[in-house]
Homo-oligomer: A and B are copies of this chain.
């Protein structure tokens, strides 16, 4: 005895109620269309009375444009992507675009569900810190859905991207740590395949080498808390304990602070400096007071929107946008030489 029969109110119903043709109703709901003021009024009246609203699925079917943007997120335990997602949802909303969220594995790009997603005529696909496998890129190309990578790039021109200037960021951090007279540095890396990590790592090590500094230790990481926690333990328990750790993102840096302070009893900012990347809101909390290289999420999101709109008109366009940030020095790193 299911009542799954939802009979929606259609433009026809409104037309009948208002004594006009169905296409008149359509026009009344189309911004630029020509309808006599009082006809429109009569239609609108009937419409609100009946609770009518145009079926956007039907509209999309005709226009070939859904006004829906797919957004794939991997790990929401990283606050930077949560902050981005919040900004993105607002920004897309204001632009009249809908956000179809789907879970994507950090590595593969969420192959299974993404294939489902492509069945909707998405205006674009945005991947937040999720890699784009070549197979997936091919699927998107076939489905004619342009892809925008956020905080990542890809070598082949399979997708446009919006990233921060990781080279400048990592070098700035290296210079900051050198200025603080740190002698034994360490780097906790991000996910192995990610362009972002490669860029940050390369610039960090490169700059230190240029300056004739001792090569830093390196610990594998994946941007997430657990691995970073283990990596920090290992670094701090080792023979020559580093006096500075640069973590490839804030999420890991906060984990590192927790370990250094609560497990090793270190005075972070004096006995050891810890620096992150992103400048998430939490970094400013007194509990962490984390020095970090800020990535301007809102500006990056604005660029994403701009790209989406551009790609709607020209799907074959390719653009790699780089947004710059800035170092925010806080208590977790010392600026001057000790003693």
Residues of chain B within 8 A of A262, CB atoms compared: 286-287
In the complex, what distance in Å separates the CA atom of A119 from the CA atom of B54? 6
Q: Say yes or no for A240: interface residue by CB 8 A criterion.
A: no
Question: Cβ of A3 and Cβ of B51 under 8 Å apart?
Answer: no
Output the least CB separation between A228 and chain B (Å): 13
Chain B residue with the shortest CB-CB distance to A66: B57
Q: Say yes or no for A202: interface residue by CB 8 A criterion.
A: no
- Which of the listed residues A57, A257, A263, A312 has the most CB atoms from chain B within 10 Å of its own CB? A57
- Measured CB to CB, the residues of A under 8 A from B are 2-4, 6, 8, 51, 53-58, 60-61, 64, 66, 68, 71, 73, 76-77, 82-83, 85-86, 89-90, 93, 96, 98-103, 113, 116-121, 139, 142-144, 257-258, 261-263, 281, 285-288, 312-316
Question: Cβ of A8 and Cβ of B89 under 8 Å apart?
Answer: no
Besides A4-B313, A6-B315, 18 other A-B contacts (C-beta < 8 A) = A6-B144, A51-B139, A51-B143, A54-B119, A55-B121, A57-B61, A73-B89, A76-B82, A77-B281, A86-B103, A90-B103, A93-B103, A98-B100, A99-B100, A99-B102, A101-B101, A258-B287, A263-B286
Which listed residue (B58, B90, B113, B118) contacts A53, Cβ 8 A?
B118
Question: Cβ of A93 and Cβ of B98 under 8 Å apart?
Answer: no
Chain B residue with the shortest CB-CB distance to A312: B4
Residues of chain B within 8 A of A100, CB atoms compared: 68, 98-101
A-B contact pairs, 7 of them (CB 8 A): A8-B64, A8-B121, A51-B139, A56-B119, A57-B66, A71-B101, A76-B86
Question: Cβ of A98 and Cβ of B102 under 8 Å apart?
Answer: yes
Question: Cβ of B3 and Cβ of A315 under 8 Å apart?
Answer: yes
Question: Cβ of A142 and Cβ of B281 under 8 Å apart?
Answer: no
Residues of chain B within 8 A of A258, CB atoms compared: 285-287
Residues of chain B within 8 A of A142, CB atoms compared: 51
Residues of chain B within 8 A of A281, CB atoms compared: 77
Question: Cβ of A93 and Cβ of B85 under 8 Å apart?
Answer: no
Chain B residue with the shortest CB-CB distance to A317: B3
Output the least CB separation between A70 and chain B (Å): 9
Residues of chain B within 8 A of A101, CB atoms compared: 71, 85, 89, 99-101
Residues of chain B within 8 A of A82, CB atoms compared: 76, 82
Chain B residue with the shortest CB-CB distance to A1: B314
In the complex, what distance in Å separates the CA atom of A118 from the CA atom of B54? 10
Residues of chain B within 8 A of A86, CB atoms compared: 76-77, 103
In the complex, what distance in Å separates the CA atom of A142 from the CA atom of B6? 11
In the complex, what distance in Å separates the CA atom of A58 from the CA atom of B69? 18
Chain B residue with the shortest CB-CB distance to A110: B93
Which listed residue (B56, B57, B113, B144) contacts A93, Cβ 8 A?
B113
